[in-house]
């Protein structure tokens, strides 16, 4: 089924919070041919792990060839070992603290190979340890199931559910709370995505739910940060000519904070948006999607004015030649924040990236981005911030079972609130072992 693109906007590099806006624009158009054939995404069969057929595993365990259903699954296990150096762990404007950290992660993907329908199961556990700053140690895990139901040749229903324990990143834009140690965050997500396409007409309906629970840390009760988020979006599209689809997408959002307000604010909100745009997806060389419209957010607190502003999204992927890909992302929307005197901000973000593989087993990436946040605040608490980053990544594929990744990232935040600005340099080397 053709890619429907992205429109309900809400990527991760540094900091994670601000770039989630762009991640959704990218993720929802990843099925386009030009994206799948780009330097960063295309398959390299001679360096892809084969995985383990579940039926073969059961057979070797003395259970025959195993049931036919289980024989249709492939298990892809992975082990990642990493070392990181960070020159500003606390993302502080003054009194920077640097440290070394190690990480180890175990991951598996269980993928089906059915003639019709699909079921994938993914799990990951990660352990991070700092040499000196033990307060930043973390233990993360994720379990995610994503079945796909092929209702007909024209219709699909994709479902996804996940449960994760993550840690709150220091210096996240839109987060100004501080504790004596890293904060564990429990996230439960659910998603239903219905797609239909027949002839020139296409439609899509998507519902997403996210429940976020900030755990107590350093003797601080973080229940006031807990939230529930619901989003519904509908899209109708018409292929006006081959490869060019015109679309309209309205959406609704509502967010609830069940516990105590932050800074005395009643932070619950709801809003709507409408985007109209086009998608160009004719070949494996170029993909373009552009949408613009209007977004609103109304707050329960009478001291916060309703937001009404321009919303936009864009993604362009150009495979200049087989060895070079250029990409650009743009998004503007409203997102929730966790700062005193504000509940949301207008987030405008832009990223550009270049990919080059001088050899089939060597992939180089240069990416840079800018974000500007205008906060919706109480009178007298005006606030804005600008975040920028540059990232260099090199991936060396030794063979199907061993990959190496070296990453350098510089990030900076300029805030008009005293003490909130910072800059940081992070180097990470990761060895990836997979079957």
Note down pLDDT in tens along the chain; length 435 residues.
444 333 322 222 333 455 566 667 666 677 888 998 999 999 999 999 999 887 777 666 655 554 555 668 899 999 999 999 999 998 888 889 999 999 999 999 999 988 889 999 999 999 999 999 998 999 999 999 999 999 999 999 999 999 999 988 776 655 655 555 678 899 999 999 999 999 999 999 999 999 999 888 777 777 878 889 999 999 999 999 999 999 999 999 999 988 866 556 778 899 999 999 999 998 899 999 999 999 999 988 888 888 899 999 999 999 999 999 999 999 999 887 777 677 788 999 999 999 999 999 999 999 999 999 888 777 777 888 999 999 999 999 999 999 999 999 999 999 888 888 999 999 999 999 999
Q: DSSP string of 360-402? A: TTEEEEEEEEEEEEEEEE-TT---EEEEEEEEEEEEEEEETTE
* Residue at 44 is within a domain: yes
* In a domain? residue 5: no
pLDDT of residue 415: 87
Instruction: Name the nearest CA neighbour of 252 among 235, 236, 233, 267.
Output: 233
pTM of the model: 0.87
Residue 43 resides in a domain:
yes
Q: Is residue 10 part of a domain?
A: no
Q: Is 65 exposed, middle or buried (0-12, 13-18, 19+ CB in 10 A)?
A: exposed
> Encoding tokens for residue 291?
């949408």
pLDDT value of residue 12: 29
Cα-Cα-Cα-Cα torsion 26, 30, 36, 41, nearest 10 degrees, comes to: 50
Asked if residue 365 is part of any domain, the answer here is yes
Domain membership of residue 11 (yes or no) is no
Q: Is residue 229 part of a domain?
A: yes
What is the predicted pLDDT for the residue at 8?
27
Residue 419 lies in a domain: yes
The parent domain of residue 97 ranges over 16-434
CATH of residue 229: 2.40.160
**What are φ and ψ of residue 98, in 5° steps?**
-105, 160
Q: Report how many domains make up the chain.
A: 1
CA–CA distance, 338 with 175 (Å, rounded to integer): 5
């Amino acid at each position: 089924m053709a890619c429907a693109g992205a429109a309900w906007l809400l990527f991760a590099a540094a900091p994670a919070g601000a770039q989630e806006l762009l991640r959704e624009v990218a993720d929802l158009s990843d099925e386009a041919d030009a994206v799948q054939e780009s330097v960063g995404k295309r398959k390299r069969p001679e360096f892809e792990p084969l995985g383990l057929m579940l039926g073969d595993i059961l057979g070797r365990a003395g259970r025959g060839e195993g049931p036919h259903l289980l024989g249709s699954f492939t298990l892809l296990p992975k082990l990642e070992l990493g070392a990181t150096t960070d020159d500003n762990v606390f993302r502080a404007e003054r009194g920077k603290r640097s440290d070394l950290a190690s990480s180890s992660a175990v991951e598996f993907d269980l993928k089906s190979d059915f003639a019709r329908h699909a079921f994938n199961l993914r799990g990951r556990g990660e352990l991070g340890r700092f040499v000196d700053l033990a307060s930043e140690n973390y233990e993360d895990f994720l379990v995610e199931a994503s079945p796909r139901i092929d209702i007909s040749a024209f219709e699909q229903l994709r479902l996804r559910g996940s449960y994760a324990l993550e840690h709150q990143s220091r210096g996240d834009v839109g987060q100004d709370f501080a504790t004596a140690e890293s904060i564990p965050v429990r996230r439960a997500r659910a998603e239903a995505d219905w797609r239909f396409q027949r002839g020139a007409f296409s439609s899509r309906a998507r519902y997403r739910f996210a429940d976020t629970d900030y755990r107590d840390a350093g003797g601080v009760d973080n229940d006031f940060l807990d939230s529930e988020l619901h989003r519904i979006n509908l899209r109708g599209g018409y292929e006006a000519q081959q490869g060019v689809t015109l679309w309209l997408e309205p959406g609704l959002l509502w967010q609830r904070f069940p516990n105590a307000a932050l800074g005395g604010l009643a932070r619950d909100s709801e809003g709507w948006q409408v985007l109209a745009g086009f998608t160009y997806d004719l070949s494996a060389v170029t993909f373009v999607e552009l949408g613009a419209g209007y977004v609103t957010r109304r707050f329960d607190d009478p001291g916060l004015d309703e937001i009404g502003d321009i919303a936009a999204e864009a993604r362009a992927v150009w495979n200049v030649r087989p060895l070079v890909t250029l990409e650009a992302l743009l998004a503007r929307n409203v997102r929730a924040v966790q700062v005193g005197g504000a509940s949301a901000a207008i987030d405008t973000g832009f990223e550009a990236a270049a990919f080059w593989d001088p050899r089939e087993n060597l992939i180089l990436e240069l990416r840079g981005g800018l974000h500007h946040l205008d906060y919706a605040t109480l009178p007298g608490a005006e606030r804005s911030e600008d975040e920028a980053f540059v990232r260099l990544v090199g991936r060396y594929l030794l063979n199907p079972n061993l990959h190496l990744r070296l990453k350098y990232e510089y990030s900076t935040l300029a805030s008009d609130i005293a003490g909130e600005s910072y800059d940081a340099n992070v180097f990470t080397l990761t060895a990836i072992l997979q079957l």
